[in-house]
Homo-oligomer: A and B are copies of this chain.
Amino acid sequence: MTDERPKYLQIVDDLRRKIASGELPPGARLPSRPEIMRDYGVSNTVALRVGEILKAEGLAEARAGAGTFVRGRPTRQKMTRAFTLRLEMPGSSGPDEMERRGHRIWSYDSRTTVAPSDIRERLALPEATGVEDVVRTAYVYSRDDEPVMLSTSWEPLALTRGTPIVMPEDGPHVGVADRMLSIGVVIDGCTELVEARTGEVEECAGLKIPPRSVVFAIERTCYAQGRPVQTADIVLSAERYVLEYGEPVRSR
């Protein structure tokens, strides 16, 4: 054996090859930690690392007590972003686009707070004075009873204070545009900044995907006549979703 590389990499490579070749098809059980230790003659440290790497690469999935299994790639859902925005534009009512596609709000948590500096910038808020000036709402969206999207929205209290829609979940209005319209704020513009990166541990845990999976992180800001009226941070798995932007094709 003239291989200079670390043992754990050699083993990972070997298993990766077996997965790619189909020798270990999706669902197949990978060797357990003790088995790796025996088969390859290594310590638990190495066997442990092998599992961690395969999980991080999204190739394997571990279930405590059961074993480690080859992961079947999920079919990617299409998430039509521009379309969402359009449907949420003034006049819409009833379930918004998210719900129409089988997504439901799994949980949410609203509270008033002092906006952090990056949010202040996005909402064009003045210097912080220590006074609570935004409503922060953390949503978890689900599909088929699985969490699939995390969203944290921020709305300036200056806009909503004293209105019936201070707390997003109060009342019948669904979707930002609809809610804002009900207090006379017409949302007429929206931008999304799309970032892709490996998910933080908590994000991946919240989405029930392997740690460090690739995720989309979308920064969405809605405007009314040029003034930002709501901004949100949206996180979703890049393995499960493709984002669709652009003009929907009309006649087809």
Contact = CB atoms under 8 A, between A and B. Distances in A.
A13 B242 CA distance: 29
Given A201-B9, A252-B226, A195 B247 contact: no
Given A13-B202, A78-B193, 20 more contacts: A16-B200, A53-B212, A57-B198, A81-B245, A188-B247, A189-B247, A191-B247, A192-B244, A192-B245, A192-B246, A193-B243, A194-B194, A195-B243, A196-B196, A196-B215, A196-B216, A197-B214, A225-B251, A226-B249, A226-B251
A198 B238 CA distance: 10
A239 B215 CA distance: 13
Contacts of A63: none
A82 B246 contact: yes
A190 interface: yes
A237 B246 CA distance: 21
Contacts of A202: 9, 13
Interface string A11-22: 011001000000
A58 interface: yes
Given A57-B200, A198-B214, A249 B193 contact: no
